[in-house]
Amino acid sequence: MSENRKVVLITGASGGLGQALIKTFVAENWQVIAALRSPIQSQTNVHPLKMDVTLAADVECAFGETARLFGRLDALVNNAGLTLDAPLTQMSDEQWDQVLDVSLRGAFRCSKAAARQMIRQRDGHIINISSLGARRGPRGQANYAAAKAGVVGLTQSLAKELGSRNVRVNAIFPGVMPTNMTAHLSAGELSAFADANALGRINSIEEVARFIVFLTSTQNISGQVFQLDSRIAPWT
């Protein structure tokens, strides 16, 4: 690894945003650790690691391997997420637990492992992918909204805990994007999401990826939540 090449670990790396993040970080000369449940072929500056964020042993092993291979970790993007939608009265305990285990507990596990390395370095950036649903609580998504609201709380608590060690922690509301998570939406539903935006369109995964890579380059921003589409949220 080049001395000047920074290292980022991305969870949920096989999804649409994960792939866009890999491409954008590589273009900016980062060494990318692509953490995902199913192996992918390695490529220049991309090191795939099998990791299920719901398994503590997997997380510890992946971060240990990252430290062994590269000796540092400059950024973590907690991108792994899951939706299992249902009205509350029809939602099973399993649907609730699975969504929180991936989206919230997974972010906790990975942030904890990353923080150990970043505290030693006295430098690093953790970026958590949340959702505007954390604030608006969509119908039929009580589990997802609760998980993503928890991610915001986690972000702000960690920003306060780690700030004295120069570790920044921020959250992203990426907006609706054309990914596997939205592939089931009808044309009418996608149109309604677009209409809810002041610009009349949904977001692009490439623009979200570019913003996240930019954010990792900042030194004085922490504990913030960035909404990346053009839906206008009320002040209160």
Which are the catalytic amino acids?
144
Cβ proximity of 103 and 82 under 8 Å: yes
Of 232, 224, 162, 170, give the one whose Cα is nearest residue 196: 232
Backbone angles phi, psi at 161, to 5 degrees: -70, -40
Residues ≥6 apart with Cβ < 8 Å to 50: 35, 36, 37, 38, 39, 58, 62
- Beta-carbon count within 10 A of 97 CB: 14
User: Which candidate, 83, 95, 94, 92, places its Cα nearest to that of 133?
Assistant: 83
130 closest CA partner among 228, 217, 51: 228
Q: Which residues contact 101 (CB under 8 A, 6 or more apart)?
A: 54
